[in-house]
Structure 1
Amino acid sequence: MTHVRTSAVVGVVLVAAVTAGCSGGASHSAPSTSSTTHANSSAPGGGAPTETNPPGDIPDNQAYVAYQPTGGFTGFTVKVPEGWARTANGTTTAFADKLNRVQISTVSAPAEPTVGSVTNTAVPQLRTQVPQFANPKVTTVQRKAGSTVLLTYQGDSAPDPVTGKVVRDAFERYAFYQQGHEVDLTLSGPVNADNVDPWRIVSDSFAWR
């Protein structure tokens, strides 16, 4: 009788041990599965929100206002984005917001700019003025004001006064000319920004008075 009881007790103990082992293995595997799922959701392409507007993109609902200089040569108007900060330095006026900029400069010119004159004069000047100046391309394009010489290029922005960060910018420089007066309209923003439509609105709005 004693032998039978001992065997029974051993059997119960073995069953309990096996049951506990199986139960412990199950509870250990669950956190592992949960941890893997969490890691996948935070990986690139997972559940992170997508940035719809890259830095520098001008909003589609941006409003524009007409700008007409009040000093120097005043014989033209051009639309600029409403609400942008305005600065003036001599015959140059600029409008800027975050990473984008519209610059308007007026000069006296004895002859109308050509692809050759911009290539031989403006490009070398900008090469000395714009950090990391690169990829200049000079063409003739049509805008509502007529034919104009367009110079596109890239360069580094001035360092941010707070963070010191430098942005790689793309530039469009339009040289409008009439009766001895040249107006250089330069539009700039980050190279990855999609500002084709806003820049077309501004450059197409230029008009002589």
Structure 2
Amino acid sequence: MAARTRAYAVVGLALVAAVTAGCSGTGSGSGSTTSPAGSSSGGGGGQNNAAPTESNPPGDIPDNQAFVAYRPSGGSFTGFTVKVPEGWARTGQGGTTVFTDKLNTVKITAVSAAAPTTGSVTSKVIPQLRSQVPKFAAPKVSEVTRHAGRVVLLTYQGDSAKDPVTGKVVRDAFERYAFYRAGHEVDLTLSGPVNADNVDPWRIVSDSFAWR
């Protein structure tokens, strides 16, 4: 009887050891299975299938940007139209209207003035801008042709205002077109980051200007 009891005890201990070993092996296998699954879902496999990051320089206006006609309805002079990018935020004060989106700006100012020339822009406008635009540089004055006729173009560079959220400052390139007719001057200023490729959008805007 005593021998049979000892035999049962030995068998019981063997079963306990086997169960313990099995549980320990299952835990280890479970851990090793979970780790690769986590890696594949958040690691290289997932990143390879992610959408590509936008590679255009900051400030690029999309190729599919739509444009709409802007016709001033108030102010001292309303006799012109110009196309501006659709959906951009609009602000206005006095004879100036500004359209902005992200890092780009279209600024339109109407004034009563004598006909602008390359000489008057050089002697009067450049000194004004030099005192107003941070780190104003590289001014160049020329006459160019747009659909509205001959206009005086001033190109230059300057720093943008500091972003109120990020505190960042962007180096901007400016194109200022001075359109004139019968005592009325409309200054169209287009600006965006220096590295942005906005040649085509700015040409659309400047070519769209028309007297009414």
Normalised TM-score (structure 2): 0.74
Q: What's 2:109 paired with?
A: 105
Q: How much identity, in percent, do the aligned residues show?
A: 80
2:55 alignment partner AA: T
Of residues 73, 76, 85, the one that matches 1:81 is: 85
- After TM superposition, the structure 1 = structure 2 runs for residues 11-50 of structure 1, keeping only pairs within 5 Å, are none
Q: What's 1:179 paired with?
A: 182
Of residues 89, 93, 96, the one that matches 1:92 is: 96
Structure-1 separation of matches of 2:104 and 2:211? 25
Q: Secondary structure at the match of 1:201?
A: helix
1:174 alignment partner AA: Y
Structure-2 separation of matches of 1:194 and 1:50? 18
Of residues 131, 135, 139, the one that matches 2:134 is: 131
1:87 alignment partner AA: T
2:100 alignment partner AA: A
Measured after TM superposition, the shift of residue 52 of structure 1 is 2.7
Q: Secondary structure at the match of 2:108?
A: strand
Structure-1 separation of matches of 2:182 and 2:207? 20
* C-alpha RMSD over aligned residues: 1.4
Q: Does 1:63 align with 2:63?
A: no
Q: Tell me the alpha carbon deviations over residues 182-208 of structure 1, each in whole angstroms, 9 at most, x when there is no partner.
A: 000000000000000000000000000
Structure-2 separation of matches of 1:161 and 1:70? 31
In structure 1, list runs of 5 or more residues that go unmatched: 1-40, 42-48
Structure 1 stretches of 4+ moved >2 Å = 49-52
Count, aligned residues: 162
Q: What's 1:13 paired with?
A: none
- After TM superposition, the structure 1 = structure 2 runs for residues 103-182 of structure 1, keeping only pairs within 5 Å, are 103-109=107-113, 111-182=114-185
Q: Secondary structure at the match of 2:206?
A: helix
Structure-2 separation of matches of 1:191 and 1:60? 18
Q: What's 1:44 paired with?
A: none
- After TM superposition, the structure 1 = structure 2 runs for residues 1-20 of structure 1, keeping only pairs within 5 Å, are none
Q: Secondary structure at the match of 1:62?
A: coil
Measured after TM superposition, the shift of residue 89 of structure 1 is 1.1
Q: What's 2:200 paired with?
A: 197
2:207 alignment partner AA: D
